[in-house]
A and B are shown apart, each in its own frame.
Chain A
């Protein structure tokens, strides 16, 4: 790590600030839990996607909110720890129907709020999707035979 060419005063200043900032934890009054930044804003900030104007309220919030600031710091740290391996790895082909089962499982967990039609928000699969899967299932044995 590059070390500063600091004089004694700067070293002492750093110690003072370290002590003071940690004890203060933030430079502004604490915010209520509902006022925290959401995942969308937090991740856009950490990725450096926000324009200067957009980031101003976010930066101000992070100065005052230890919880959100800590999350952004953890995300930066996570980036460092994961390094370049975060790129998507080649994915194995899912077995046909697995997504349908996944969605069916997720849909079964939907908490009903208005009675029997609780899962109405789950959109029925498109017909062509089913046909595509069926076609794929038929093709695979043939491919194997041909191979």
Chain B
């Protein structure tokens, strides 16, 4: 970091010139930048320190004006709060009203967000402002959106404390009772296979699917999870991938020669669908070979595994795609 001190000083001077009333001392500014570097560039697993070039690049990408405003707000500077309130209150209100079910709830969320941003706890003589957790890596607007989202969840949790946050969140905001993959739920079909055989097939199928998915890289797994578990629509995944600097976009680009050559080309829903199809093919191939080689199953038995797994799921799958169709059509 010492090699970059001059760069940080220059940034501080630029920010101070733009907002002279914020009164951010140089050491506070340096500490904030260092915290951001430590958070995102230090390799916690391997302990590798970033190079000066990496730090300079990182600092140049920070939302420095947003960070400067946040630092001043964290210190309770009235000028900064004025600017913040002018620039962001409407946005906070808009998000809160969109997410909260009732106007009264939205008001409560807005109030709690302001209280959290200001900070109501004092530790070692320092008020713990939420602003202090903002590093400037993303925009202040995007950060606020997430803070508001969390405030809505907290309100929901407070109102319905019998529902755990993980249950609520993982179910996408509602508790879903998914149909299980159990022989007894299939009525007459279970007569075709006795319980022992079904259990063997079930275990082999689950193990083969796990093994197949384990061969995918993290980007592939995450996009599959976004589509299948979180229910993101293709256009929403395309939007996530389309962010110009998104690592997901860069990963997508590496999958396609055309995109490497024309990096600015759009990622359409059809591109995401084609990618999904490719992954399905990859998983299916691996799945069959796992069942065959490790499970020792014959082609007919593999077919039985696939049938069992897909038929059990079919009703919900069909419903989901019917629900998706009008929005995406």
A contact set with B: CB distance below 8 Å: 1-6, 9-10, 12-27, 33, 38-52, 54-57, 59-60, 62-63, 66-67, 69-71, 73-82, 85-86, 88-89, 91, 94, 98-100, 102-103, 106-107, 109-114, 117-123, 125-126, 128-129
Contact = CB atoms under 8 A, between A and B. Distances in A.
Interface SS of chain B: helix, strand, loop or mixed?
helix
A57 B122 contact: no
Interface in B135-188: 135, 137-139, 141-143, 145-147, 149-150, 165-166, 169-170, 172-173, 178, 180-181
Contacts of A74: 149, 172-173
B64 interface: no
A75 B230 CA distance: 12
22 contacts: A1-B327, A10-B280, A18-B320, A19-B309, A19-B317, A21-B228, A24-B210, A27-B225, A39-B133, A41-B39, A48-B240, A59-B222, A69-B225, A75-B146, A78-B145, A86-B91, A86-B94, A88-B88, A88-B91, A91-B86, A118-B122, A123-B75
B98 A67 contact: no
A43 B146 contact: yes
Contacts of B255: none
Contacts of A45: 138
A69 to B, nearest CB: 6
B149 A40 contact: no
Contacts of A44: 135, 137-138, 142
Interface string B285-298: 00100000000000
B181 A76 contact: no
Nearest to A60: B218
Given A21-B228, A113-B122, A63 B206 contact: no
A99 B232 contact: no
Interface stretch (B1-9, B244-252, B258-266): B244-252
Contacts of A9: 284
Given A48-B249, A76-B236, 5 more contacts: A21-B224, A47-B139, A69-B226, A79-B239, A126-B78
B66 to A, nearest CB: 11
B21 A129 contact: yes
B199 interface: no
Contacts of B31: none
Given A16-B313, A67-B170, A69-B230, A94 B82 contact: yes
Given A4-B274, A16-B313, A38-B133, A75 B145 contact: yes
A94 B169 contact: no
B300 interface: no
- Which residue, B87, B206, B248, has most C-beta atoms of chain A within 10 A? B248
A91 B149 contact: no
A39 B146 contact: yes
Nearest to A58: B247
Interface in B98-157: 98-99, 114-115, 118-123, 125-127, 133-135, 137-139, 141-143, 145-147, 149-150
B204 interface: no
Contact of B280 (A13, A48, A113): A13
A39 B150 contact: yes
Nearest to B306: A12
Given A4-B273, A66-B170, A56 B78 contact: no
Given A80-B235, A106-B118, A47 B142 contact: yes
A79 B226 CA distance: 15
Nearest to B36: A40
A66 B309 CA distance: 23
A19 B192 CA distance: 22
A12 B85 contact: no
A7 to B, nearest CB: 9
Contact of B277 (A6, A49, A94): A6
B328 A55 contact: no
